[in-house]
Chain A
Amino acid sequence: MEDVVVIIPALNEEAKIAQVVSDVTRQLPLATVVVIDDGSTDNTAQLARQTGATVLSHANALGYGTAIQTGYKYAYKNGYNYLVQIDGDGQHESTDIHNLLNPVLAGEADLTLGSRFLGDCRYQVPIFRRIGMTFFRMLTYLFTRRHISDPTTGYQAMNRRVIGVFVQDIFPCDYPDADVIVLLDKLNFSFKEVPVTMHAGDPGNSMHGNPFGAMYYLFKMVVSMFLTRYRALPKNLV
């Protein structure tokens, strides 16, 4: 398990981060836990460091996608073979880490996606969000011909081959969601869904909190999925 890194993107999560790091460390004591502090203005970085995590601090907030890509770059640069990503707001249940990681360790899949809809979703997903998820589920099927129950999940595990793709400019840092699945399908990576438990996240930190943000997300994701599917790949990836 020494070659496993767990990345936790966090922005102003001082209330939850220490608990999340402790829970992850309890599950994977030999793994390296890395918190990517995306320009927090509270004590997120200090608390994460005190709990034993390696902290990568962005000088200013650049968003969730850029934060996780910093984690991928750290993993790739330091030679880790496996990576788990888990949110810093306590939404994801750390006990599911093994279920996510084991298929990747066994070589059954290059990437696993934690699905709240195959597992235990312990909160009422708001109706508009549910409609959005159904829409993206249908779009994902249209572009990949694969049924993915939770294409917007941020709870994932992957091997070094996938990390090697995600460190490049092709990774959609704006909102990496269903378009990432389209990209992996195009590159013939294998992936599977794993049932996980999810709790309600912090709505105050959600990028889809306001209607304009949600509309922009919808527009951006549709364009991004379409472009990812039909745009020529960079030469180094072909």
Chain B
Amino acid sequence: MIPERQLIVAVAIALGIIVFVSNLVYHRRLKEEYSWLWLLISVFLLVLAFNNSILKWFTQLIGATEDVSTLFLGAILFLFMLCVQFSIVISAQSTNLKKLTQEVALLRNELEKISNKQRI
């Protein structure tokens, strides 16, 4: 077990993130598909808080000397994954925006044709 104070802080942060993200999803300010990574990391933080032997095992595995280094590495990897997820989403949105803009231009042309015919 980790010291009691550290346990309380870790659990509070993890639960805080879960409540905050769930609240955003509940009020439709965050879509479910973008919430899973945040919730996953919060659950992972909870697991680490109650069982830090996983953290110690992983620290040994990657050859780090301090547990805190492993936590920093985890945080950086998490932010990296988040950025990649955002890039994927932005790419998809760009494609959708392009298709929509093209479709609007073509439909506007159709509309002009119809209204011109009606005028004649």
> Could you list which residues of chain A lie within 8 angstroms of chain B, going by C-beta atoms?
36, 54-60, 62, 66, 69-70, 73-74, 77, 169, 173
Contacts and interface: CB of A to CB of B under 8 A. Distances in A.
Taking residues whose C-beta sits less than 8 angstroms from the other chain, chain B's interface range is 10 to 19
A55 B102 contact: no
Given A58-B105, A62-B97, 17 more contacts: A57-B108, A58-B101, A58-B102, A58-B104, A59-B101, A59-B104, A59-B105, A60-B101, A62-B98, A62-B101, A66-B98, A66-B102, A70-B101, A70-B106, A73-B102, A73-B106, A77-B106
B109 interface: yes
B95 interface: yes
A77 B97 CA distance: 20
Interface in B88-111: 95, 97-98, 101-102, 104-106, 108-109
Contacts of A56: 105-106, 108-109
Interface of A is mostly: mixed
Contacts of B106: 56, 70, 73-74, 77
Interface of B: 95, 97-98, 101-102, 104-106, 108-109
18 contacts: A36-B105, A54-B109, A55-B109, A56-B106, A56-B109, A57-B105, A58-B104, A58-B105, A59-B101, A66-B101, A66-B102, A70-B102, A70-B106, A73-B102, A74-B106, A74-B109, A77-B106, A173-B98
A73 B103 CA distance: 9
Cβ-closest 6 pairs across A and B = A56-B105, A70-B102, A58-B101, A66-B98, A56-B109, A58-B105
Interface of B is mostly: helix
Contacts of A73: 102, 106
A173 B83 CA distance: 24
B83 to A, nearest CB: 19
A169 B96 CA distance: 11
B70 to A, nearest CB: 34
Contacts of A55: 109
Nearest to B113: A54
A77 B113 CA distance: 15
A172 B3 CA distance: 56
Nearest to B109: A56
Contacts of B102: 58, 66, 69-70, 73
Nearest to B103: A73
A73 B102 CA distance: 8
A169 B95 contact: yes
A57 B102 CA distance: 9
Contacts of A36: 105
Contacts of A77: 106
